[in-house]
Chains A and B, each alone.
Chain A
Amino acid sequence: GESVGLHLPTLSVQEGDNSIINCAYSNSASDYFIWYKQESGKGPQFIIDIRSNMDKRQGQRVTVLLNKTVKHLSLQIAATQPGDSAVYFCAEMGDYKLSFGAGTTVTVRA
């Protein structure tokens, strides 16, 4: 499943498929980006980060891609599992503080 375009608020994905969550950022001077996952009733949880001198970074089942030319960030989740159901936020770090985007709600279908 993929949230096509700059940002969609919801994404439904079949269990076992790959998920792609997109995010556009506004500040061209931003040099540090982070993805957070927020489950219902909990605080956001760090997933992965990337600095502007990189265009790709991989973690466990997750990959973050950064396209500075179009100010676009994406999070790819491989083999999506039911536990991946949550709201995903991209965030920019600037002046020692995080600025969060609107979030994408991912629902995993069994």
Chain B
Amino acid sequence: GAGVSQTPSNKVTEKGKYVELRCDPISGHTALYWYRQSLGQGPEFLIYFQGTGAADDSGLPNDRFFAVRPEGSVSTLKIQRTERGDSAVYLCATGTSNTGELFFGEGSRLTVL
């Protein structure tokens, strides 16, 4: 497709479970970002990839969160031992070089029961 694709669109899980959220970027976009958005708040930065490497993971809240982008395209955000406080919409955005014009996906809504 032409835009950023995120799957699943909705994920309901139980406390303590492991989840993976996937992001398919726009073809050719080297920069990829993960953000987290809680209800009524602005997106909060989690991690930034330039190509295959995580250039900045300073926003990951703790070591239960991890993200990969092994071939410089698709990225997966992984959350271990989920907690109720992890419930949010996880947004992926991609772009080219150092520009503020990022293209966001529609997000994956995670609910931890």
Task: Report A44-64 CB contacts with B as 1/0, cut-off 8 Å.
Answer: 111001000000000000000
B interface residues, Cβ below 8 angstroms from A: 4, 31, 33, 40-45, 48, 50, 55-56, 59, 91, 93, 98, 100-107
B107 and A46 within 8 A (CB):
no
Q: What is the CA–CA distance of A41 and B41 in the complex, to the nearest angstrom?
A: 14
A96 and B93 within 8 A (CB):
no
Number of A-B contacts (CB under 8 A): 58
Interface of A is mostly: strand
Chain B residue with the shortest CB-CB distance to A103 = B42
Q: Knowing A102-B41, A102-B42, say if A34 contacts B55 (CB, 8 Å).
A: no
A interface residues, Cβ below 8 angstroms from B: 32-34, 41-46, 49, 89, 91, 93, 95-103
Q: What is the CA–CA distance of A97 and B95 in the complex, to the nearest angstrom?
A: 11
- CB-CB < 8 A to A99: which residues of B? 45
B104 and A45 within 8 A (CB):
yes
Indicate which residue in A42, A45, A91 contacts B100 across the interface (CB closer than 8 Å).
A91
A43 and B100 within 8 A (CB):
no
Q: Knowing A95-B56, A96-B56, say if A43 contacts B105 (CB, 8 Å).
A: yes
Q: Give the Cβ gap from B59 to chain A, nearest Cβ, in Å.
A: 8
Q: Give the Cβ gap from A77 to chain B, nearest Cβ, in Å.
A: 19
- CB-CB < 8 A to B101: which residues of A? 34, 46, 49
- CB-CB < 8 A to A103: which residues of B? 40-42
